[in-house]
Amino acid sequence: MADYDNIAPFYDTVHGSRKQTIAYVRELLLQYHPEAKSLLALACGTGAVVKGLSKFYSVEGLDISPGMIKEAKKKLPKSQFHVANMCDFKLAQQYDVVTCLYASLNHVLGFDQWCEMFQTALAHLKPGGVLVFDVMSETGLYNIVLNSPLIIKRFGHISMGEIQMSETGDHSIWRARGFSRFRRKDAPPVYDVTVKQVAYPFELIREALLAIFPEVYVDDPEQDGANEGSEIFYFICRK
């Protein structure tokens, strides 16, 4: 996870505005838990989404990367942030909402660890609370590999992502490099990181959730209802 420390100062420049995600998550929470007041964001990254949701909820964030947490604290100096693994953390309180966004769970390669995260999130929810998380589908992962490289140019910064499947074929490997558009030709990248992603079948995820949550709902923000062609699934799980 140390790679995320290296990219943390440039992360917001690469990914741009989170307004659409903030609005969508807010819409989901108004639908599934309109009385919610407290929110814990797992894999909160630089805190961009957490800051947007702080207008509506008392928020806390958790991330395994100290570099990401450092950036998040700049946005919300009065909020509490935790450096911890989202799969096996233990905090002293429970929350109305726990989130895990931007396909962060896809970076956890073992499905047993996914299930561990589900259990840990459940333990940190108040009665009637909801876990909201998104994951990239197998279709979404396949399409990203097909569309490699991904190049983003924004605010004097160039980000290049080269994605390929691993030799075993069970996960993708990203090499993400960032450059200043005003660099010398021989200048090294401002970051050069390698991350991995995995996707699991929809039914496998849903069955694991139904084993511990009494209510599980699924949505696709890009179309009317989730189906086999969905690239992203949003799961809403009520305790």
Q: Do residues 84 and 9 share a domain?
A: yes
Q: Do residues 106 and 62 share a domain?
A: yes
pLDDT at position 185 over 70:
no
pTM over 0.85: yes
Q: Do residues 56 and 29 share a domain?
A: yes
Q: What is the CATH number of the domain that holds 22?
A: 3.40.50.150
Which pLDDT value is given to residue 162? 77
Confidence of residue 155 (pLDDT cuts 50, 70, 90): low
| C-alpha distance from residue 158 to each of 110, 131, 153, 197, 215 (Å) | 32, 35, 5, 22, 43
Q: Do residues 53 and 149 share a domain?
A: no
Q: Do residues 90 and 168 share a domain?
A: no
pLDDT tens, residue by residue, 16-39? 568 999 999 999 999 999 999 999
Structurally, the chain folds into a number of domains equal to 2
Domain carrying residue 150: 139-197
Q: Do residues 100 and 205 share a domain?
A: yes
Lowest mean pLDDT, pick from 29-43, 96-110, 131-145: 131-145
Q: Do residues 129 and 145 share a domain?
A: no
Confidence of residue 2 (pLDDT cuts 50, 70, 90): very low
Q: Do residues 145 and 214 share a domain?
A: no
Q: Do residues 93 and 44 share a domain?
A: yes
